[in-house]
Amino acid sequence: MKKLKVAVISCGMIANKGHLPAYRHYADRCELAAVCDLNPQAAQDTAERFGVRKWYTDAEKMLAKERPDLVSVCVPNGLHKEVTMLALSYGAHVICEKPIALSYKDAREMFDAAAKAGRSLTACQVIRYYPEFSFAKEMHEQGMLGDVYYTEFSLVRRRGVPKWGAFHKKAASGGGVLCDLGVHMIDAALWIMGNQKVRSVTGMTSSYLSRTEDGIVTSLVESGAPAGVFTRQEYRKEDFEVEEFACGSMRLENGSCMNFKTAWAVNLPGEYSMRMAGTKAGILLPEMKLLGTMGRYQTDFEPKVFPGERPFAGEVFPGHFLLAENVMDHIQNGTELMIRPEQTLHVTAVIEAVYRSAEEGREVLVSEIEG
């Protein structure tokens, strides 16, 4: 099997801690040909860190010279479309960080371009690969939950604004915590339930604390960089332009309801949880606990999970390893992609609907966006 030639565009935290370690792990299947970053020091340091022979500061020059088979797009959200379209135009398959685009229209154009080029485009909705979500998906598919009629999730950092990049700037990132964290949980919840569709959204966003507080002690771990970062940009609270908190309610086409909250900064405890109530049982994540009955008794069930069921558990971002493997399997063997274009498109529309609802102060039908 011919090795795939791989390149990575943008050498920030997620490239250095997620994408590049994953490709290095699969060295028998791919060759890391080049990396690119507008910051020459970041590009050179990253290349040396991973033993990559070439580094560039111009993405198009790199694509034209190297002609990679597969490209990871790790630039800020606002550049996802531009850089993805460029990589597709040079014949590369693309793995793009989430959210794949800031609007449904842009995402549709990106997937249409990929289809026209005969190439795959895959969003990094990597928490689908986490054991707790895979377990919940399995339980739902086996009918253990019955019909899920209520879901809620919380992904909350008490003070966890990512301050090493451009996450807090509107032009670069398009949005804040909803784009960073909420998109993962929305995708995972809909996927677990068999790729259910959202009918309508009521959402609210806010940004009080990050614009006003000074001197609060925080950590890289809490802000989403548990293994640290290599290259930092200057951070000033005066530049904070996106939402630090988002919450809302969604009504699904099957009649079920999903409530959510997600935060980079909020005066509430940190929380990472998803709860689903089904007609046969409920499920708690990440605990992987089922709540049901046995005979006339209320009963809790917990699976025994062995180390082999937690692949790459020692890695900072284990999902990126499994995503890279699936995409390479797709390119080299024709294996079906786990993260399908139509699923990513719908999640993009839902995110856009939350922002529209928050801005206009009304319930928004997802059909208004999808057309």
The predicted pLDDT at position 305 comes to: 84
Lowest model confidence (mean pLDDT) among 24-33, 245-254, 260-269, 306-315: 306-315
**Rounded mean pLDDT of 222-240?**
91
The predicted pLDDT at position 17 comes to: 96
The predicted pLDDT at position 310 comes to: 86
Question: What percent of the chain has a predicted confidence (pLDDT) above 90?
Answer: 94
Strand duo 70-73 + 4-9: pairing: parallel
Question: Angle of helix 80-89 relative to helix 104-117, nearest 10 degrees?
Answer: 10
**Rounded mean pLDDT of 93-108?**
97
352 band by pLDDT with thresholds 50, 70 and 90: very high
**Rounded mean pLDDT of 118-125?**
98
* Cβ-proximal residues to 216 (8 Å cutoff; 6+ apart), any chain: 159
What's the CA gap between 71 and 114, in Å, rounded? 13
Lowest model confidence (mean pLDDT) among 13-17, 187-191, 228-232, 288-292: 228-232
198 band by pLDDT with thresholds 50, 70 and 90: very high
pLDDT at 1 over 80: no
**Rounded mean pLDDT of 125-134?**
96
H-state helical runs in the chain: 13-14, 20-25, 40-50, 59-66, 80-89, 104-117, 131-141, 170-173, 177, 183-192, 209-212, 318-333, 341-360, 367-370
Domains of the chain, with CATH numbers? 4-123+320-331 (3.40.50.720), 128-305+346-370 (3.30.360.10)
**Rounded mean pLDDT of 332-360?**
98
309 band by pLDDT with thresholds 50, 70 and 90: confident
What's the CA gap between 72 and 70, in Å, rounded? 7
SS3 of 327, please? helix
Question: Angle of helix 104-117 relative to helix 341-360, nearest 10 degrees?
Answer: 160
94 band by pLDDT with thresholds 50, 70 and 90: very high
Contact call for residues 7 and 34 (beta carbons, < 8 A): yes
224 band by pLDDT with thresholds 50, 70 and 90: very high
Q: Each residue of 188-197: pLDDT tens digit?
A: 999 999 999 9
Mean of pLDDT over the chain: 96
Q: Each residue of 142-180: pLDDT tens digit?
A: 999 999 999 999 999 999 999 999 999 999 999 999 999
**Rounded mean pLDDT of 212-231?**
91
196 φ, ψ (degrees, to nearest 5)? -65, 155
**Rounded mean pLDDT of 290-302?**
96
232 band by pLDDT with thresholds 50, 70 and 90: confident
pLDDT at 306 over 90: no
Q: Each residue of 272-292: pLDDT tens digit?
A: 999 999 999 999 999 999 999
The predicted pLDDT at position 84 comes to: 98
**Rounded mean pLDDT of 111-122?**
98
The predicted pLDDT at position 244 comes to: 98
Q: Each residue of 83-92: pLDDT tens digit?
A: 999 999 999 9
308 band by pLDDT with thresholds 50, 70 and 90: confident
The predicted pLDDT at position 121 comes to: 98
